[in-house]
Amino acid sequence: MTIRVRFAPSPTGNPHIGNIRTVVFNWLFARQNNGKFILRIEDTDRSRYTPNAVQIIEESLRWLGLDWDEGPDIGGPYGPYTQSKRLPLYQEKVNELLEKGWAYRCNCTPERLKAVKEMQRAAGVDTPMYDGHCRDLPPGAISPDEPHVIRLKVPREGETIVPDMLRGAVTFENQRIDDQILLKSDGFPTYHLAVVVDDHLMQISHIIRADEWLSSTPKHVILYQAFDWTPPTFVHVPLVMGKDGQKLSKRHGAVSVADFRQQGYLPEAVLNFLAMLGWAPGEGDEREIFTREELLATFELSRVKLSSAVFSYDKLDWINGVYIRNMEKSELLKRLVPFWQAAGLVPSPVPSEMFETLAQVVPLIQERLKRLKDVVELTDFIFTEIETPPAEKLVGKKMTPLESLEAVQAMQTVLSNLVNFDAATMEPPLRQLAQDLGLKAGQLFNIMRVATSNKRVAPPLFGSIEAIGRKRTLQRLSRAEEALTQLIASEKY
């Protein structure tokens, strides 16, 4: 049997990272089985339609490298892949159900429905359901021309079993399954009708979707029976939660693919992380880092855990850092440029003479980055002017202002006399200087770090200074010198 799976989002906004995790499972399963991965847009709710959503969904998938074989943009043998373009199909199928007696017309008004529900609640009914008012009306009692909906005629007795690949048979009592609306009064199908019709027509073999659908699946199973179709294999995978144990949502922070992209997470790292949310290789295999190819070789749908997983930003940061550290410097540079540019630190396009500096900076920060965006905070002092640090900040550890001033002056001399202004050349004389001044290397270098970056924490000093250049470095030192001089003058020295 050909494996055919799908991602069927409704175009209501930015794809959620939790949903994307499920897409990753789908995609991996399709690709490792030589199957097809299909994108289908479920836009049957006209009130929630968002114009750019489809495009954003496609972009998000592309960014993560989750390519699809059939979809609204590229078509395929079972199109169209947008439900709003398949309306006649649903109409036809629902008529079939009507003829077979598996569905009925219902012209109850929303007001009546609401009233019924309220009465049921008041009476202490556990699960409010449609009261079946139109269920047994004689055929023709409701004209096809008057406003109405079409409902599924769920058997009143017996039970419906949902076979789930991961949890076995899940049983539901038919008497608690509502007569689900299949076709809305606007002629659009509801999700339940459309999903069954399309999954069947598109020959979907496995429905891999989030847990939250499990409880509506018996309705789908009944529909498959009504149509006399063989249902696909159902695979319900756990939800992704936020730190507080609730379903992950915007209030937990970054949640859309676009958010992660903007913050400088690498798509390969995100893919890796997502695949590990609810799945692990097991059997003594303790790897955490998987390339796309390794994932393809190792992932096993049947090993997906059944309990929901909390999305750990800490772990994502760690994985992202691992990928950044393992990356070729030239590749990292390429990916960093847009972030420098977005912050206005580097012009766009990058002036050719600037590449050398950029290439010098990359090794300084590579192992310090968790997210690409961090490069801005880390390196801004190299590209822009800094504020002169307050004099107190320039005083070395266990040193007086005067001693600090002398150190700054001595450093200026050493740096001015350097033949080549590069990290390797400047280090020995500076170390020597520390010794000559009777200082620990750290004492001296920390003064220099603050003077040249106005930061107490910064990338390695000599490399940074090299990138800043001799002229600007000396300028900064001389400003530090002034500041210290003033401090000394203002106090009673």
Of 133, 135, 315, 470, the residue at the interface with RNA (CB under 7 A) is: 315
Helix (H) or strand (E) run with residue 19 in it: helix 17-32
CA dist., res. 317 & res. 370, Å (int): 6
* Per-residue tokens: 209: 């979707």
Least separation in angstroms between CB 83 and RNA: 8
Distance of CA 259 to the CA centre of its chain: 7
> Quick one: 318 or 421, whose CB is closer to RNA?
318
Residue 472 tokens read as: 């600007």
As a whole number of angstroms, the distance between CA 243 and CA 309 comes to: 10
Shorter beta-carbon distance to RNA: residue 49 or 485? 49
Q: Single out the residue of 28, 38, 239, 372 in contact with RNA (rule: CB under 7 A).
A: 239
Catalytic status, residue 250: yes
End-to-end, the C-alpha distance of the chain in Å comes to: 89
Residues of this chain, 108-167, that bind RNA according to CB under 7 A:
108-110, 113, 117, 126-130, 147, 149, 167
- Which of 253, 261, 257, 259 lies closest to 338 in space, CA to CA? 261
Closer of 50 and 384 to RNA (Cβ): 50
DSSP state, residue 138: P
Give the active site residue among 85, 100, 243, 250.
250
Closest CB 352 distance from RNA, rounded Å: 29
CB 238 to RNA: min, Å:
7
* Options 31-39, 208-216, 384-392, 481-489: segment touching RNA (CB under 7 A): 208-216
Binding mask 449-488 for RNA (x = CB under 7 A): x------xxxxxxx--------------------------
**Count of Cβ atoms closer than 10 Å to residue 39 Cβ:** 25
Q: Residue 19 or 353: which CB sits closer to RNA?
A: 19
Query: What is the rounded distance in angstroms from the CA atom of residue 22 to the CA atom of residue 238?
Result: 9
Q: Tell me whether residue 126 or residue 353 sits nearer to RNA (CB atom).
A: 126
Query: What stretch of H or E contains 109?
Result: none
**Residue of 305, 390, 420, 490 that binds RNA (CB under 7 A):** 305
Least Å distance, CB 122 to RNA, is 13
Which token pair is 168? Answer: 């076995």
State yes or no: residue 278 binds RNA (CB under 7 A).
Answer: yes
- Residues 6+ away with beta carbon under 8 Å from 80: 72, 86
Q: How far is the CB of 149 from RNA (least distance, A)?
A: 5
Which are the catalytic amino acids?
Answer: 250
